[in-house]
């Protein structure tokens, strides 16, 4: 004779089923809101300005010119993943964009070597930032603001406050001017690097360590992760990306402008925070960031083609940053 145990189960009713919170409903609904906004921008501006906006040439121009911003935004993404801010990213990009034409002027340094040295310079800046934050325990805001100021001084001293164009080899523009299959080279650079960054963050142990440090540095440390190394390497990788961005920028300009750089910081952070409202809602992610860059660029380009004044772009980016930070803060359910 066997004993049969009959388990009583509680039926799932409307009373026992958990109702999703407002935050959860909003997160689910906003997953594809950003690409939807991009589609709306394209449709609206194509109707308002069909002869200039709705053209393949304009699309290529927008994507090519925003490639530098996309690279700086991915650099910002890396440091935000570990819960830190790097406010020197724009200055780093400007340093690289100035060094490359400066080093190659009058044939002083071959272009390939100058590219390596320019990227190495910003990687070393990232190393300094990482050491200040991880070892000296300086707040990342303060550390990177100070670094940005120092870079600004170096840029002014190196350039004398003037554009470097005399003696710059014309071959420099080959970095960004070629377009295989009609696709601008900077767009290809961004696509390749975006895939690499995504794989690095999502498919490697170090990428998971970065997410753990960003979630809780103390918990990550207790689980055996060397949080100092993660912080230092992350800042170095961000520096490498800004160095690449500077190389692309120099290739687009064919000269070195000491004023280039700082203006990229605000839209880069706007893109990263806005990207956190898409796809992986509440999380800083690569594809959300890229979509945000294209969306912001499309909005600005459409407004500019309508003949609006030049203050519209910074105002647009500023509003986007405020809205994006507020939404990300709400969807994450915790301070940034």
Which distant-in-sequence residues (6+ apart) come within 8 Å of 292 by Cβ?
34, 73, 270, 271, 272, 274, 275, 278, 324
What distances in angstroms separate CA 200 from CA 24, 73, 237, one per listed residue?
28, 16, 11
CATH class of the domain defined by 32-43+53-332: mainly alpha
Distance from the Cα of residue 317 to its chain's centroid: 14
Label residue 21 by pLDDT band (50, 70, 90). low
Q: What is the mean pLDDT of residues 60-65?
A: 91
pLDDT digits (tens, 9 = 90+) for 275-327: 988 888 778 999 999 999 999 999 988 988 888 888 888 888 888 888 877 87
pLDDT digits (tens, 9 = 90+) for 142-153: 999 999 999 999
In whole angstroms, give the CA distance from residue 184 to residue 79.
28
pLDDT digits (tens, 9 = 90+) for 209-240: 999 999 999 999 999 999 999 999 999 999 99
Top-confidence residue, 296 or 27: 296
Average pLDDT, the chain: 89
In whole angstroms, give the CA distance from residue 76 to residue 57.
29
In whole angstroms, give the CA distance from residue 261 to residue 23.
37
Q: Is 54 a residue whose pLDDT tops 90?
A: no
pLDDT digits (tens, 9 = 90+) for 76-133: 999 999 999 999 999 999 999 999 999 999 999 999 999 999 999 999 999 999 999 9
Number of continuous H segments (helices) and E segments (strands) in the chain: 15, 0
Q: Are 192 and 216 in contact (CB under 8 A)?
A: no
């Amino acid at each position: 004779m066997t004993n049969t145990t009959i388990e009583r189960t509680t039926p799932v009713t409307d009373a026992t089923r958990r109702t999703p919170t407002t935050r959860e409903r909003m997160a689910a609904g906003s997953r594809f809101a950003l690409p939807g906004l991009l589609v709306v921008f394209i449709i609206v501006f194509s109707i308002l300005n069909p002869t200039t906006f709705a053209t393949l040439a304009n699309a290529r121009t927008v994507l090519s010119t925003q490639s530098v911003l996309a690279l700086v935004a991915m650099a910002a993404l890396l440091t935000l993943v570990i819960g830190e801010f790097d406010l020197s990213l724009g200055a780093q990009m400007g340093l690289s964009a100035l060094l490359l034409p400066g080093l190659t002027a009058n044939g002083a340094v071959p272009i390939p070597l100058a590219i390596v040295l320019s990227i190495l310079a910003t990687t070393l800046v990232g190393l300094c930032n990482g050491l200040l934050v991880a070892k000296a325990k300086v707040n990342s805001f303060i550390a990177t603001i100070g670094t940005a100021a120092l870079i600004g001084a170096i840029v002014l001293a190196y350039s004398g406050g003037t554009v470097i164009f005399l003696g710059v080899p014309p071959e420099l523009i080959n970095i960004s001017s070629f377009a295989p299959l009609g696709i601008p080279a900077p767009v290809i650079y961004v696509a390749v690097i975006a895939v690499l960054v995504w794989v690095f963050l999502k498919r490697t142990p170090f990428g998971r360590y970065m997410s753990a440090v960003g979630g809780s540095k103390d918990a990550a440390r207790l689980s055996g992760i060397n949080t100092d190394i993660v912080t230092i390497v992350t800042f170095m990788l961000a520096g490498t990306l800004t160095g690449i961005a500077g190389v692309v920028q120099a290739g687009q300009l064919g000269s070195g402008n000491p004023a280039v750089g700082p203006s990229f910081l605000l839209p880069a952070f706007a893109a990263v925070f806005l990207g956190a409202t898409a796809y992986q809602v509440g999380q800083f992610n690569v594809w959300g960031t890229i979509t945000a860059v294209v969306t912001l660029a499309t909005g600005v380009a459409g407004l500019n083609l309508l003949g609006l004044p030049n203050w519209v772009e910074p105002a647009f980016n500023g509003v986007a940053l405020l809205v994006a930070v507020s939404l990300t803060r709400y969807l994450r359910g915790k301070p940034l």
